[in-house]
Amino acid sequence: STTEKPILLKNIADAEALVSGAEVAVIGFFQDPQSPEAEQFRLAAGQIPEVPFGLSSSAAVLSHYGVSANTVVLFRRVDDDRRDLDMNDRDVDAKKLARFVRMNELRLVTEYDPVTAVGVMQSSLEFNLLLITDKMSPKHPERMRKFRAAAELYKGKILFILLDSNLKSNERVLSYFQLKKSQLPALAVFHTPDDEHDVLTPDEISIERIQDFCNHFLQ
């Protein structure tokens, strides 16, 4: 890509456009855009091509977001939340910054793994809907299309999570919901404050089935 990464954000409008135009966006707020911290930020931006990164040294932009200099903020649309990372901490480098982004980049549909698990646990959304399925299945792309379409309807209410049944680290999730691989695909809805949950093993995943299942549980 020939576009500069990170994008230079000269004013509040630039910053708001970046944040509103992506599921996940990261902005580095630096008084000195040539500082060592800003250099580490640029390195991290290059490692994560699919997430838009912006950099601003405008006092107005810093004030608008209520941050001090040398702060990196990750904005996510799924729960309208943000995560801040203080870059004044001496040992924050590009590697730790990239990990911070990976841990917190919740999307409309977040794939569950040991790294994203951290962001899932810290989400402000109390309801999680898991699609537990085999990613290698020929039906997977179509299931995902329907799951994503349903996720749009519950943005800000339910966190939609994809759980690949092939991953060894996910086996304990299957046992928690008392599911066997022969019963998949399955939907599991979960209320984090009290561990209340419900499981559905539909013949086929459809947007209507997902809606009925979610609405019934929310009520």
| Chain segment 78-136, per-residue pLDDT in tens | 888 999 999 987 788 999 999 999 999 999 999 998 889 888 888 889 999 999 999 99
Specify whether 67 is located in the same domain as 154: no
pTM over 0.85? The answer is: no
> H or E stretch including 103?
helix 94-104
pLDDT at 1 over 60: no
Residue at which a domain ends, from 72, 104, 136? 104
**Domains held by the chain: number:** 2
pLDDT at 70 over 60: yes
Q: What is the structure's pLDDT at 4?
A: 66
Residue at which a domain ends, from 82, 104, 126? 104
What residue has token string 């405008």?
58
Average pLDDT over residues 146-162: 95
Q: Average model confidence (pLDDT) for the chain?
A: 93
Q: What percent of the chain has pLDDT over 90?
A: 84
Neighbours of 25 (CB within 10 A): 23
Residue scoring higher pLDDT (2 or 27): 27
Position 2 in a domain: no
Q: Going edge to edge, which strands form the sheet with 158-164?
A: 109-111, 158-164, 127-133, 186-191, 196-200
Average pLDDT over residues 32-45: 94
**Residue-number span of the structural domain to which 77 is assigned:** 7-104
* Inter-helix orientation angle 207-218/140-153, to 10°: 40
What b/e readout covers 72-93, taking b as 16+ CB neighbours within 10 angstroms? bbbbbbbbebebebebeeeebe
